[in-house]
A and B are shown apart, each in its own frame.
Chain A
Amino acid sequence: MKKRTKKKKNISREEAIKKLGKYSAVTALGTFMLLSPKQAQASSPGEPGGGF
């Protein structure tokens, strides 16, 4: 039985950049940021000291 050698498929630098570029482009395209404003007016967080 002949031993099979798995040939590694090498890609060129240009091809890698092209692939990577496309991957980042898709990732960037689908990126979103959901932002919530405060639902009420507020001052700086802090405790009044000693309870009410």
Chain B
Amino acid sequence: MEYISKSFNGKNILWFKSKNKYLILEDSFSILLDRYLNGISFRDFHFLCKNHYNLEHKDSSSLYENCSELIKQMNSIPSILSPPIIKHIPQIENNITISYQWNGAKVCINYTSEKLKAMVHPKFQHLEVQTESEPHIHIFKLDNQIGFSIAEECLGLWSYNEFHLFQGKLSMHLLNQFTHKNDEDWLATLHASAVCKNDFCLVLLGESGKGKSTATSLLLTRGYQLLADDFVPVEAETKRIFGFPQAVSIKETMVNPLSEYFPQLLSSLSKRKNDEIQFRYLYPAINKVQVQKSKKCKAFIFIHYSRGSKTKFKLLTKAKALELLIPDSWISPLEKHSMAFLDLILETPCYNLEYSDNSSMLNLMDQLMKDEL
């Protein structure tokens, strides 16, 4: 089983190419696992454990079982396959065509119904321009699924429950069209928000509903600029963070407190995310023709707004940061990219921040940006 590895703080992270999986383990265990993968006999394995780590027979047996369990788990994962090619695309009629502009480039989307337009357009309506052009992207419904095509090639079909995957794929294509790049030019896309000042940015991460977008909008009131919300691209060539111009989703409960800074929120359309959460879009001020520059990440901050809690700010171990980041990110499955992604995380400070007091959160972010921590 082919893998490549990287060491950090007495641990090793292995990336298994055919499965696109990452494995974090102790340095010494990775030596044993490597021997196991190369077909070492149990007798020699035990001998190695005894000589190098002074382990008794039962302990080396237990480690041998761990190796076996691990490889069993790994083998049960199907190998990465190319997505199936979808040939049948419904007849596209130019129903609703809208042009969008960002980064000096224009993209035209054709929606085959008002309903589909209402699902996509509000996130990007601030990019709309009144220029007629041929549609680049067609968004359509087929067999109760949503799909999109570019140059008559269908990029996929997604069911109702997979709408977030449709949005992710569409965002990736919009990003590529706006920047004249391909999927291979990106290292990863993070489920995060990013704000910047000059050449540097802070990336805020955390589960949905933990306060990323709210913290982001508060940072915009302190002289930061929005880089991206919810979908944060990482440039492959530079390992720097790139922008993405979709609107910021603000929870309904935060609309009134934030309307002091963003009065336009009060007139923004309220939308439903799920049974519990309603939100409104905050449209950042955007220069549609200015060519965007990527920013160097100062820190990755996992934030958690918790009502009534004291501010707790701590440096995360790299193992913990990787544990949190990897499952929540799309990471390019190319070998050079997976290693570059690990380099980025290992060389950038990662923090955990639990807070309820916004001003202490804002002060901490300022200090991070100024290297005062």
Binding site for B on A (CB under 8 A): 22, 26, 28-52
Contact = CB atoms under 8 A, between A and B. Distances in A.
A48 B189 contact: no
Given A43-B168, A46-B273, A35 B326 contact: yes
Interface string B177-221: 000000000001101000000000000000010000000000000
Interface in B324-342: 326-331
Interface of B: 20-26, 28-29, 53, 55, 59, 62-63, 66, 70, 73-74, 77, 80, 115-116, 119, 141, 144-146, 160-161, 163-165, 167-169, 171-172, 188-189, 191, 208, 230-231, 249, 271-274, 277, 319, 322-323, 326-331
Given A35-B327, A36-B21, 18 more contacts: A26-B55, A31-B26, A34-B22, A34-B74, A35-B22, A35-B323, A36-B20, A36-B327, A37-B330, A38-B327, A39-B80, A41-B172, A44-B208, A45-B208, A47-B273, A47-B274, A52-B141, A52-B160
A41 B29 contact: no
Nearest to A23: B59
A35 B25 contact: no
Nearest to A26: B59
Contacts of B331: 37-38
A16 to B, nearest CB: 17
Please classify the interface of chain A as helix (H, G, I), strand (E, B), loop, or mixed, using the class held by over half of its residues. Answer: loop
B70 A32 contact: yes
A38 B80 CA distance: 12
A7 B274 CA distance: 65
